[in-house]
């Protein structure tokens, strides 16, 4: 394992990534990589499907896989009932269907739902997060261990940022229209360990006061899932939020550095490699902008231009997260354009258009890239300095949740079902 992989294995409580399942959003490292081999390249609604399990209600959370369990969340009864669902990994049969919270639903974005944050698990427990509606810990037997409903912030388009585990804490990004903070909870008890307000949004508020009245109303919302990295042996948690990206010490919540941009509604999760953090922020005109940031160990406070190695505004996605494979960085735009860049320099290698629109983040598994679109088509292509597509696979319902991988199986959540797809299937 790499040193970063070792660190993440420790903080997530995983034995190692070769034997790990899929414990969180975007997998063991949080960057969309799987150690699996022998995955299917081609499938359909009936071909190479080991099982197909219906999921009630609506939710865009990705499946997480640990041992013999597959967990996900959903919202039923028009969003009033927020539920945690556990499926048997071998058969797809429902093991637990637990109502965790009840709420009075508010608005949501047409592409979002009330159960978009992906759970996180350590094999013994699973933590589910429904934004301001509540956060909870469940045991593997479906028993609710603790709940929190007092972390209040207003997200008028419904929640999306997924929780992560660091050591003994569960870390949540809470960035609403009215309040913005990062909080760490004791994962065993749910009590607050630390709570860090976003320090630099006051700068945006002051700036807004100088704008004409017609341009005021900056929402300050964000939906990105943070990423833990290691810089000179020390952990940093990278959080893209409204108006800036900031790095914090996950052990105490103290801010380490920050870099400003314009806009809000960040969604994509960062990736890290070659000593660079690849973060998607926002330009003045509201378009996404990618920053390649080098977080040197002695950097504190606002970053200088020297820390920004390169940036890009063309082909940068809003929702799908970047994918770093070796020396190449892949961007999957919401409208289906794939961009391959040299990760160190930002130079363009190639661009190709895939069919459809995309909300799910691509993954790298078994030497291939898997990219799922909003009508249920998954393109499979090889990474490298030339585009080589291997297959296009179609399922009958749309895919908004990012894929999961465990063992020799892909776990795909459509708008109606969860599929276990693998070449070992006989039906």
Judge whether 376 lies within some domain: yes
pLDDT value at 375 more than 70: yes
Is residue 282 one of the residues assigned to a domain?
no
Question: What's the pTM?
Answer: 0.92
CATH of the domain at 351: 2.40.128.630
User: Is 345 inside any structural domain?
Assistant: yes
Percent of the chain topping pLDDT 90 = 77
Residue 29 CA neighbour count, 13 Å, CB half: 26
Strands (E), 251-334: 255-260, 271-273, 276-282, 288-293, 301-302, 308-312, 323-325, 328-332
Q: Which helix (H) or strand (E) holds 207?
A: helix 201-209
Q: Stretch 395-421: mean pLDDT, rounded?
A: 97
Say how many CA atoms lie within 13 Å of 266 toward its Cβ.
Answer: 31
Structure tokens at 143: 């028993």
Please check the confidence at residue 378 and state whether its pLDDT lies above 80: yes
Q: Is 422 contained in some domain?
A: yes
Q: How confident is the model at residue 346 (pLDDT cuts 50, 70, 90)?
A: very high
- Note the pLDDT tens digit of each residue in 290-342: 999 999 888 999 999 899 999 999 999 999 999 999 999 999 999 999 999 99
Closest CA to 172 of 155, 157, 156: 155
The H or E element containing residue 209 is: helix 201-209
The answer to the question of residue 121 being in a domain is: no
Say whether pLDDT at 345 is over 90. yes
Is 367's pLDDT higher than 70?
A: yes
User: In this predicted model, which residue has the larger pLDDT, 207 or 399?
Assistant: 399
pLDDT at 198 over 50: yes
Range of the domain at 414: 31-60+327-427
CA pair distance 37, 25, nearest whole angstrom: 20
Is the predicted pLDDT of residue 62 greater than 60, yes or no? Answer: yes
**Mean pLDDT score, 2-7:** 46
- In the chain, the percentage of residues whose pLDDT exceeds 70 is 89
Instruction: Please tell me the total count of domains within the chain.
Output: 1
Does residue 362 form part of some domain?
A: yes
The DSSP call for residue 321 is: P
The answer, yes or no, to whether residue 69 has pLDDT greater than 90, is yes
Residue 401: inside a domain: yes
Q: Would you say residue 14 has pLDDT above 70?
A: no
Q: What is the mean pLDDT of residues 50-72?
A: 97
| pLDDT tier for residue 12 given thresholds of 50, 70 and 90 | very low
Q: What integer is the mean pLDDT of 168-186?
A: 94
């Amino acid at each position: 394992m790499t040193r970063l992989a070792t660190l993440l294995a420790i903080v997530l409580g995983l034995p190692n990534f070769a034997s790990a399942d899929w414990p969180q959003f975007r997998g063991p490292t949080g960057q969309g990589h799987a150690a699996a081999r022998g995955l299917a390249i081609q499938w359909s609604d009936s071909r190479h499907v080991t099982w197909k399990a219906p999921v009630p209600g609506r939710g865009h959370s990705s499946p997480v896989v640990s041992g013999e369990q597959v967990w996900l969340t959903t919202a039923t009864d028009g969003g009033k009932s927020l539920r945690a669902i556990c499926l048997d990994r071998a058969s797809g049969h429902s093991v637990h269907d637990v109502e965790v919270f009840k709420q009075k639903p508010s608005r949501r974005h047409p592409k979002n739902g009330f159960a978009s944050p992906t759970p996180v698990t350590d094999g013994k427990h699973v933590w589910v997060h429904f934004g301001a509606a509540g956060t909870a810990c469940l045991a593997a037997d479906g028993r609710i261990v603790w709940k929190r409903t007092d972390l209040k912030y207003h997200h008028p388009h419904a929640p999306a940022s997924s929780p992560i585990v660091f050591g003994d804490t569960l870390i949540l990004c809470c960035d609403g229209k009215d309040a913005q903070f990062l909080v760490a909870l004791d994962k065993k008890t749910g009590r607050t360990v630390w709570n860090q307000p976003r320090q630099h949004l006051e700068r945006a508020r002051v700036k807004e006061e100088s704008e004409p009245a017609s341009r005021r109303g900056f929402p300050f919302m964000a939906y990105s899932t943070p990423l833990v990295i290691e810089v000179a042996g020390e952990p940093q948690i990278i959080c893209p939020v409204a108006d800036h990206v900031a790095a914090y010490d996950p052990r105490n919540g103290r801010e380490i550095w920050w870099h400003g941009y314009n806009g809000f509604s960040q969604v994509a999760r960062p990736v890290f490699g070659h000593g660079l953090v690849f973060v998607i922020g926002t330009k003045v005109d509201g378009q996404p902008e990618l920053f390649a940031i080098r977080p040197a160990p002695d950097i504190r406070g606002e970053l200088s231009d020297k820390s920004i190695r390169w940036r890009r505004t063309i082909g940068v996605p809003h929702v799908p997260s970047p994918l770093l494979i070796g020396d190449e960085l892949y961007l999957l735009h919401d409208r289906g354009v794939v961009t391959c860049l040299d990760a160190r320099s930002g130079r363009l290698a190639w661009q190709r258009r895939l069919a459809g629109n995309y909300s799910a983040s691509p993954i790298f598994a078994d030497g291939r890239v898997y990219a799922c679109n909003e009508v249920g088509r998954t393109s499979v292509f090889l990474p490298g300095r030339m585009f080589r597509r291997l297959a296009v696979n179609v399922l009958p319902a749309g895919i908004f949740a990012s894929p999961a991988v465990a063992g020799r199986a892909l776990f795909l959540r459509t708008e109606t079902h969860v599929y276990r797809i693998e070449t070992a299937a006989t039906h």
